[in-house]
Structure 1
């Protein structure tokens, strides 16, 4: 198992970035795929038409999202914590993803950069 942590700079306010990651309609706009999301702890979610699935564990409005991502029959859960920090140019989005299966690590790291960060930046640049 591996862990990943990175800060991404996004040219938008934390509340707008938070909304883009918790609002079903906004998720579908910037991912271009079907999404299931409810801003409520204990609910299941699905992104990119089921490519990423899991459970929402915690929401702190405009500040933090904690999710469990499913990777089959894994002993320890894979936990994603996203924190939103105000930055002079918008938001510094801190992503910490723990217990990533070794065989999925490279794909997950690429996904955080290309699928999440690049797509979010495009959303806010328009």
Structure 2
């Protein structure tokens, strides 16, 4: 199976604490995504987003700075790791996303999902007038 990586950066006009909550608090996730979420900041806890469309395990947290997860893609041998880092910026925060080992046949959908429905939705949620 061919695997690919995806990296992107995004600026959001909000505070690091807000973005961190949008990534880790199930109630906040539900507000911006519109779907119930199972999420915990406990290392090695499993999570589920978008009614189970995204599932995996939480690997590491650094409050208001970083979230690292393993996303499950069937019986894939190489783990697919998502690392989201949050940096303070002059007008808010920058988010750096690195998603490794994405199955090639899922790559376009995953990239669109990150850009439009995940990070894009978080940006829209915090920057709406």
1:43-86 Cα offsets, whole Å, 9 max, x none, are: 00001111100000000000000000000000100000000011
The match for 2:104 is 102
> Whole-Å Cα distance in 2 between the matches of residues 78 and 10 of structure 1?
25
> Whole-Å Cα distance in 1 between the matches of residues 57 and 20 of structure 2?
17
Q: TM-score, normalised by structure 2?
A: 0.95
The match for 2:6 is 4
Instruction: Show the 5 A alignment for 1:1-126.
Output: 1-126=3-128
> Whole-Å Cα distance in 1 between the matches of residues 100 and 113 of structure 2?
15
**Aligned-partner SS, 1:28:** helix
1:22-50 Cα offsets, whole Å, 9 max, x none, are: 00100011000111001110100001111
Unaligned runs of 5+ in 1: none
> Whole-Å Cα distance in 2 between the matches of residues 57 and 116 of structure 1?
19
> Whole-Å Cα distance in 1 between the matches of residues 42 and 109 of structure 2?
28
> Whole-Å Cα distance in 2 between the matches of residues 34 and 16 of structure 1?
18
CA RMSD of aligned residues (A): 0.7
1:68-122 Cα offsets, whole Å, 9 max, x none, are: 0000000100000000011111110000000000000000000000011221112
Aligned structure 1 segments of 4 or more residues deviating by more than 2 angstroms: none
**Aligned-partner SS, 2:51:** helix
Q: TM-score, normalised by structure 1?
A: 0.97
Paired positions, count? 126
